[in-house]
Structures are given as structure tokens and as C-alpha cells.
A and B are shown apart, each in its own frame.
Chain A
Amino acid sequence: MGVSTVTARTSVPVWDEQPGRRSVPLAQVLVYELRVRDAMSKPPVTAAPQDSLRSIQHLMKAHKFSGVPIVEGDRLVGLVSIEDIINALDRGHINEPAERHMTRNVVTLRDHYSLLRAVAEFERHGFGRFPVLDAGDRLVGMITRGDITTCLMHHLEKRAEEAIAHEAALVAARVADEKAERVVIRAPVRTGDYDSAGKVSQRMRQVLRERGIDPEVRRRAAVVAYEAETNIIIHSLGGEIVVTIDPDKVVIEANDVGPGIENIELAMQEGWSTAGRLPRELGFGAGMGLPNIKRCSDRLEIQSDSEHGTRLRAEIFLKRAGGAE
């Protein structure tokens, strides 16, 4: 896209189609890109062959034109210039119809010409204005050097604004990236609060999804966070879960205040559970919590004693979706 490739780092706007390629001044690019139809004034103010030169003089005065195209329908048949009016005043035929004195061999430009070509035509003929015809020979506008200058200035300004906006967006994105580098989700977990299970995990998944993390990795992290959270709900006297999301890994820490895991080795065995009746009825206590956490983590540490409670720290290494397995 052309817009995003314009940079505003230098005082003169430049066009970099590809980095490393020679830069061409933007104004030069625009005279190639822009067409006569982009710069011309339209619809043209016209007069009929039967109109008096006097009425055309008034038209010129009102619009500050130095030439008025004469048309039959949408066909250009002539042009009355300020010179024709001066001659008419001089020679006393200002009240006669335009068709008797107008210039008939009018030089025109086509609406699809580049502005570069239009500028060359102005140089070649020395005229102040050209009628503009479309591919079907219909008169569609008038163009002056002033129109070309205005059009170029307008587009230069637009491109410059776009370049500045693009630059600003890049800076904003970079700031957002830096801010997003580490997200910490911290939540207290209460004993027996089965209704809240999964809240931390849900928020973590949201962040990982926004970062485009591979779905399989996302699911593993979710399982670890959820199982760690429910372990505190089911087995502990309360605690806290802290999820730290870095660009390269998620660290899930579950800390509780006790009573500690009596036998970690046993707890790591699938099917072993000390859960009570209520959690079991709700579908918890399958004896798979810690084994699930172990299976889904890339690194796992558990410390537990009856005095300090249990501290679980699991790491999951992140990769973006679509990356190599």
C-alpha cells in the first residue's frame, strides 16, 4: 500500500516503494500518479454559441476566468478568451454572438493525461487554461496551472498527514508492545469457592489469545492454571494464584496457607485424591489435578509443608500460532 510506505523522517517527503531502493521526491511521484481529471475544475462554466460576447465578459468577471468554453450540448465548439473580449471592445462587436468571433481550433487536454504531461502542454503552448475532454470527446472540465499547483499541494499535504499518522501509529504500537510485554494476573482464591474456579484461567487465556499464542499451548496453560486454582479451592485453607505472562513463557504460581500436601509423591499419582464428598459430586477430586499440571507444564516445582503451606510454580513456554512444532 502506497500510504504506509511514505515516511516523514526527512523534511522532504520521500517515497520508498521498497526499503533500499532509490528515493524519488514525492512531488515528482505525484505528477506521474495524478491525472488531469484529479486537478481540473468541474463542471466547467460554459456559454452557448449564440450568447453575446458581453454576457461572456460578465461571466468572466463573475468567476475571474480568463477564458470560457463555448459548447453545443456537451461538445466543445470554441473558446472565448480575455483577448477576444478586448478585441471585441476595441472593434465594437461586444454585443455580437460568440460564434462569430470565438477561437475555433481549440487545443484541449484529455482527462486521463498525467499532470506531468499537462505541465508540458502549458509550457509548449503558453496558454493560461485548457478545456478538458474525456475519452468520448465530451467537455468535462477546465484546467489552469493554478489548478495543478493546488492539486499537488493538497495531495502533498494529504500524504504528509498520512505519513505522520502512520508514524504515530507505529510508535503507539511499539509502546503497546512494550507495555504488553509482561502481564500479571493476581487473584485471591478462597476455600470452597467452586463458583469462582476458572476466573484467573479465563483472563489468562484472553491475553494469550490476543497475543496469538498457539491454541495447544494456550490449552495447556489453561489446564495448569485451572487445576492449580481448584486445588486451592478444594484442599487448602485459602491462598493466591499469580499468573505472569511474558513474551516467551507463562509462569503460574499457586500459593496457599496450608495445610500442605502430606505426601507429594502420592499426590502426583493419577487417581489419588483426598477430596471430600462435595467437590467429588461437582466433578472435582478425580485425583488428576497434579498429574494434569505436570503433564501440561514445561517446568514444575512444588514445595509443601504443614507449616508454610504449598507453593506450586509451573512454567509453560510460549510459541505463536502457526510456528514450527
Chain B
Amino acid sequence: MSQATMFALKPVLGALQATPLTDALPETVSGCYISDLLSDVLAHARPGVLWVTVQIHRNVVSVAAMKDIAAVLFTCGRKPDATIVAEAEEGIALLSTPLTSYEAAGRLWEAGLR
């Protein structure tokens, strides 16, 4: 991960219209991966990324933990149950935005996360 360029997450929260659901937010992410298929994320997401998805099932948190994903951004205004948020392992931040995955991706790209 050290060779990857780290991207500061907090400055783009405004542009993403993102609301943090967990207390802790990572300072930086190593990149971004967008998928709603868990196996696809298991296969392709790199550690430390921001994962953008519409899935709000408990398994999203499991998969994120397994792949050492830094943060999950739920799009289309979706938010997982409070119990799932509480289950998020330490070190995994959860966020929600009313934007679609496509719009969120566009804003992240514009902000320099490439």
C-alpha cells in the first residue's frame, strides 16, 4: 500500500454530500472501487480503498473487513441498519450520500481520486 498515492477523504465529503455513519473516518484512502457484487469486490478491490455501493446488507461490512477496505460509501441515500453500523469493525468507516454511484464516482474523479 505504501507505493499507492494516498487520497485525503475529508476534503471531498462536501462535494459528495456524504454523511458519515460511523465516528471514525480514515484520513486517506488508497483508491476507489465501485461494485454491488460482493464476489467482485472480493476479487478486485485493493486494500485501503473507498468502496462505493448501493448494497446495505450486513455482508458489505464483512466483505469490507475481509479486504481491509478503509471506507464504504452507500449511494442513492441508502443507509444500513443501526445494528449493522454498530457491527462495522474498527477501522472501517461507513458513509452515505444521496448521489447515485455514477454521480459520486464523477465527483471523486473530479476531486482527483484517480
The segment out of A70-78, A253-261, A278-286 that lies at the interface is: A278-286
Contact string, A220-251, partner B, CB cutoff 8 A, digits 1/0? 00110011001000000000000000000000
Q: Does A112 contact B (CB under 8 A)?
A: no
Q: Does A141 contact B (CB under 8 A)?
A: no
Give chain B's interface residue range (CB within 8 Å of chain A). 20 to 34
* Cα distance A205–B37 in the bound complex, in angstroms: 22
Within 8 A of B (CB), among A199-227: 201-202, 205, 215, 219, 222-223, 226-227
Q: Which residue from chain B places its CB closest to the CB of A198 in the assembled complex? A: B62
Could you tell me if B68 and A215 are in contact, using CB atoms closer than 8 angstroms?
A: yes
Out of B40, B59, B66, name the residue touching A219 (CB < 8 Å). Answer: B66
Q: Does A304 contact B (CB under 8 A)?
A: no
Could you tell me if B63 and A198 are in contact, using CB atoms closer than 8 angstroms?
A: yes
Residues on B with C-beta less than 8 A from A140 are none
Could you tell me if B62 and A283 are in contact, using CB atoms closer than 8 angstroms?
A: no
Contact string, B24-42, partner A, CB cutoff 8 A, digits 1/0? 0000000000001111101
Q: Which residue from chain A places its CB closest to the CB of B41 in the assembled complex? A: A283
By DSSP majority rule, is chain B's interface helix, strand, loop, or mixed? helix
Could you tell me if B39 and A219 are in contact, using CB atoms closer than 8 angstroms?
A: no
* Cα distance A283–B66 in the bound complex, in angstroms: 16
Q: Does B86 contact A (CB under 8 A)?
A: no
Measured between C-beta atoms, what is the minimum distance from A23 to chain B in Å? Answer: 45
Q: Does A195 contact B (CB under 8 A)?
A: yes
Residues on B with C-beta less than 8 A from A284 are 38-39, 59
Could you tell me if B66 and A194 are in contact, using CB atoms closer than 8 angstroms?
A: no
Q: Does B114 contact A (CB under 8 A)?
A: no
Could you tell me if B59 and A292 are in contact, using CB atoms closer than 8 angstroms?
A: no
Within 8 A of A (CB), among B39-70: 39-40, 42-43, 47, 53, 55, 57-60, 62-63, 65-68
Out of B37, B67, B68, name the residue touching A286 (CB < 8 Å). Answer: B37
Query: Residues of B at under 8 Å CB distance from A?
Result: 36-40, 42-43, 47, 53, 55, 57-60, 62-63, 65-68
Could you tell me if A226 and B66 are in contact, using CB atoms closer than 8 angstroms?
A: yes
Q: Tally of A-B residue pairs with Cβ under 8 A?
A: 70
Residues on B with C-beta less than 8 A from A295 are 43
Residues on A with C-beta less than 8 A from B43 are 223, 288, 291-292, 295
If A198-B62, A202-B62, A226-B66 touch, whether A286 touches B57 (CB-CB below 8 Å) is no
* Other 10 A-B pairs with CB < 8 A, given A230-B59, A282-B38: A197-B58, A197-B62, A201-B66, A222-B66, A223-B43, A227-B39, A283-B36, A284-B38, A288-B39, A288-B40
By DSSP majority rule, is chain A's interface helix, strand, loop, or mixed? helix
Residues on A with C-beta less than 8 A from B38 are 230, 282-284, 286
Residues on A with C-beta less than 8 A from B42 are 223, 226-227, 288, 292
If A198-B63, A226-B42 touch, whether A283 touches B68 (CB-CB below 8 Å) is no
Residues on B with C-beta less than 8 A from A195 are 58
Q: Does A289 contact B (CB under 8 A)?
A: yes
* Cα distance A219–B62 in the bound complex, in angstroms: 12
Residues on B with C-beta less than 8 A from A289 are 39
